[in-house]
């Protein structure tokens, strides 16, 4: 079964928006938060719930990342 999974991973196509250069965890987190905020149309409470964060934590991260 492990070989099946390994083969599947190696044969999977790379998504068009997959980063070609390594990104830091900070960059990945900022991008993910921005995407969720876009999906929720900027509703911080709803975005925090989706992200599993307290609203205050998300607000701090928005400020920190300049979103």
CATH number at residue 55: 1.10.10.60
Sequence-separated (6 or more) residues with CB below 8 Å from residue 8: none
pLDDT at residue 38, as a whole number: 95
Whether 7 maps to a domain, the answer reads no
Whether 11 maps to a domain, the answer reads no
What's the number of domains the chain is made of? 1
- Cβ–Cβ under 8 Å, residues 62 and 44: yes
pLDDT at residue 23, as a whole number: 82
Whether 35 maps to a domain, the answer reads yes
Whether 17 maps to a domain, the answer reads no
CA atoms of 65 and 42, how far apart (whole Å): 15
Identify the domain containing residue 50 by its residue range: 24-67
Whether 9 maps to a domain, the answer reads no
With 0-12 CB in 10 A as exposed, 13-18 as middle and 19+ as buried, what is 51? middle
What does the pLDDT look like over 5-56, one tens digit per residue?
555 555 555 556 566 677 889 999 999 999 999 999 999 999 999 999 999 9
Query: pTM to 2 decimals?
Result: 0.67
């Amino acid at each position: 079964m492990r070989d099946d999974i390994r083969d599947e991973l190696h044969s999977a196509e790379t998504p068009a928006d997959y980063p070609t250069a390594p990104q830091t965890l900070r960059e990945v987190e900022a991008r993910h938060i921005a995407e969720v905020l876009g999906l929720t149309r900027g509703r911080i409470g709803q975005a925090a719930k989706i992200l599993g964060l307290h609203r205050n934590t998300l607000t701090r991260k928005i400020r920190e990342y300049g979103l």
